A = this chain, B = another copy of it.
Amino acid sequence: MTAEQQLVDAALRTWKSNADRVEKFFQPLSEEQLQQEIAPGRNRLIYLWGHLASVSDGLFPLLGIGPRLHPELDAMFVTNPDRAATALPSATELQDIAAEIDRELWRVFSQWSATDWLAKHTAVSDDEFVREPHRNRFSVLLSRTAHMAFHYGQAILVKPRS
């Protein structure tokens, strides 16, 4: 592997290990367990999970891969706070949705070269990118990895009831 490939490989491993621990934590939870709050009066687990899935789903357009797979998640889990949406996906539905998003992203991520990763993301104009070349896909990958860890740290404060 070249140095470039090794640097990308390290970032992909960190993404993957964070995505995997999120999935491992949330996937087994029941409908009832997902209703638990991370702290009194704070977000419920189902909101955190849907939020992570929706933000990951937003990577398809942001990284120029294609349209979102589940645009309906945004209003439920990102643009509105927890408890604002009247209907949320069931635990089983969210299991499938989250796994699908993770799987499809990983299929693309694992094939991209360093050059692909250093291309601009779609929220930056060509002009801006000349001045600010650090606004690339790789930066998005790293900041979204930190975003996953941020909410995972909150989620595991809940001790799931059996």
Contacts and interface: CB of A to CB of B under 8 A. Distances in A.
Given A14-B146, A146-B145, A149-B147, A138 B40 contact: no
Interface in A1-29: 1, 3-4, 6-11, 13-14, 17-18
A143 interface: yes
Copies of this chain, tallied across the complex: 2
Nearest to A145: B146
A55 to B, nearest CB: 14
A153 B152 CA distance: 8
A130 B150 CA distance: 33
A39 B157 contact: yes
A117 interface: yes
29 contacts: A1-B133, A3-B118, A4-B4, A6-B118, A6-B133, A6-B134, A6-B136, A7-B117, A7-B118, A9-B134, A10-B134, A10-B138, A10-B142, A11-B11, A13-B139, A14-B142, A18-B146, A38-B39, A38-B157, A39-B39, A39-B40, A142-B142, A145-B145, A145-B146, A146-B149, A147-B149, A150-B153, A151-B153, A154-B157
